[in-house]
Structure 1
């Protein structure tokens, strides 16, 4: 099997780091991974995780998705500029009332999450078209399908990614290219911790009292519990991504969390779009106690499932 060249963005931590290391450690050495990050000052964590693969099946390079020059320099440094698989993972989050966010903060999210992908593909896509070979993998989000309370700008950036990819996928087929969107729900990483911490520190003085209270006492209050119950690890997402990459006919969309699937299914169940909005409204404002109890029940089921799995594993 010919070794495939993989370029992954946003590898200083989280999903990018986990995926880079997993692919580099492949026993059959199917991949040569170029793990990139905005600044090499943050490469220590990846170097440690990469271990013996460093300098062999994994190399670390600088790539800032917000800079066309940085992207060009990185891609041109790869032998023959040949990239078989590109994984667009770099991104940033933003939560809170829009009254309390600056336009510049919003632009930064859009520039990283959406235009970062566009810049990357503008540089890599022409070469893939010439070869009529390549797989474009985007770490998107279920929030590219269904918006969530106080995630307005982040959801907007992911909706943009999804619309862009739906359009591009049609063209990609003509050039025999594959395009896949990986759509996680909540993922427990440093990325999410930073988003939560920034939300906790947010100046809410520009918001009315009711909105500020809603953000603090409903959204922030339930944030940790939702992640504890529904959250996946970066390694879980990496496992899903590799499965998609190795698939003979990789899917266009792949959701990683079956517990979250009913939420996105609501979007397709009602062409008018009222059902998911009405459901979320009632869940947050009218049935919050039932919602909280349901989370605790799911948490118990997952705990028992993991416990029984561990016991089976131990007995083997």
Structure 2
């Protein structure tokens, strides 16, 4: 396939995890159907990506510096796309935050919103006008089940992901008029270094001493629950990449893709029982099972 026929793909957050795996997969496409611009904030982290493609894909992969929180950085990366346009934009850069809300510093909360929300919006601002003018394009955003339903001790992270859901739904309504598709890839726990890089209050942190005993106990239960979830049900990145490929290769992409069916019951519960109480109780049972049992015993 000639360079003119290749689909031009730009992906944010490619230093590790989903972004890296997707960039490698598309750049390694046997038919060379894609030209991939893999972007990351810190180019010193590009070695893992380059090692994964082993230098065999110089005609299908370029690595660009791009900090989604820096508007000028986003524009510089956009202007380095040799083809002058992007057919497929993947907004994947994101960070996590976990811990009791009372202990979160304003600057840390702001940084999560800067990356997950404003970083995504700034990226969309930069690339949407060209897609509109060309009357074609596909935007894929790495979503999260934390954007579909709330999780305790994840208020700031969920707030950022809930906001992305609203932004993407709003854009999808508009951009269908321009033949531009928007797809959210809703991921649950994934076996990446996301959990390692997650900003969180550690269980032994002295700041927890400022909390009431019940909150400390519930946080400990939640952290144990998260460890169990990541150990037992987290998906490999290759499973996630397959869902991205399904969306990318579809002639009529859906708005929302789920990487796992595990989220379906909770999403249905939330949308069918409109008062919200059944969902709140169910999440409590799932995330604090031991505390639920003790509470019931106390009542007996």
After TM superposition, is the score higher than 0.5? yes
**Are the structure 2 counterparts of residues 158 and 199 from structure 1 closer, same or farther at C-alpha, using a change threshold of 3 Å?**
farther
**Retained in 2: the 8 A contact 1:100–1:205?**
no
Q: CA deviation at 1:286?
A: 5.5
- Give the SS at the match of 1:204: helix
Which residue is equivalent to 1:276?
Answer: 279
Is 1:214 aligned to residue 218 of structure 2?
A: yes
Query: Normalized against structure 1, the TM-score is what?
Result: 0.87
Which residue is equivalent to 1:242?
Answer: 245
**Retained in 1: the 8 A contact 2:222–2:288?**
no
C-alpha distance after superposition, 1:35-58 (max 9, x if no partner): 000010111111111224442211
**Retained in 1: the 8 A contact 2:138–2:181?**
yes
In structure 2, runs of 5+ residues without a counterpart are 294-300
* Runs of 4+ residues over 6 Å off in structure 1: 287-290
Q: CA deviation at 1:81?
A: 2.6
Q: Write the distance in 2 (CA, Å) between the matches of 1:247 and 1:258.
A: 20
- Give the SS at the match of 2:54: helix
- Give the SS at the match of 1:228: helix
From 194, 197, 201, the equivalent of 1:194 is: 197
Is 1:84 aligned to residue 87 of structure 2?
A: yes
Q: CA deviation at 1:285?
A: 4.2
Q: CA deviation at 1:259?
A: 2.4
Q: CA deviation at 1:197?
A: 6.6
**Retained in 1: the 8 A contact 2:218–2:291?**
no
Q: CA deviation at 1:284?
A: 3.9
Instruction: Compute the RMSD of aligned alpha carbons.
Output: 1.8
C-alpha distance after superposition, 1:19-42 (max 9, x if no partner): 000111111111100000001011
Is 1:225 aligned to residue 231 of structure 2?
A: no
Correspondences of 1:253-268 after superposition (within 5 Å): 253-268=256-271
From 205, 209, 219, the equivalent of 1:205 is: 209
Q: Write the distance in 2 (CA, Å) between the matches of 1:143 and 1:266.
A: 15
C-alpha distance after superposition, 1:144-185 (max 9, x if no partner): 110111111100000000001111111101111000000011
Which residue is equivalent to 2:51?
Answer: 48
Indicate the larger mover: 8-17 or 240-249: 240-249
Which residue is equivalent to 1:21?
Answer: 24
Query: Normalized against structure 2, the TM-score is what?
Result: 0.91
**Are the structure 2 counterparts of residues 38 and 284 from structure 1 closer, same or farther at C-alpha, using a change threshold of 3 Å?**
closer
Indicate the larger mover: 43-52 or 198-207: 198-207
Which residue is equivalent to 2:181?
Answer: 178
Which residue is equivalent to 2:41?
Answer: 38
C-alpha distance after superposition, 1:69-117 (max 9, x if no partner): 0000010011243100000000000001011110111110011001001
C-alpha distance after superposition, 1:204-230 (max 9, x if no partner): 2332222122112x0111212111222
From 149, 172, 191, the equivalent of 1:169 is: 172
Q: Write the distance in 1 (CA, Å) between the matches of 2:83 and 2:21.
A: 26
In structure 1, runs of 5+ residues without a counterpart are 291-316
Is 1:120 aligned to residue 89 of structure 2?
A: no
Which residue is equivalent to 1:307?
Answer: none
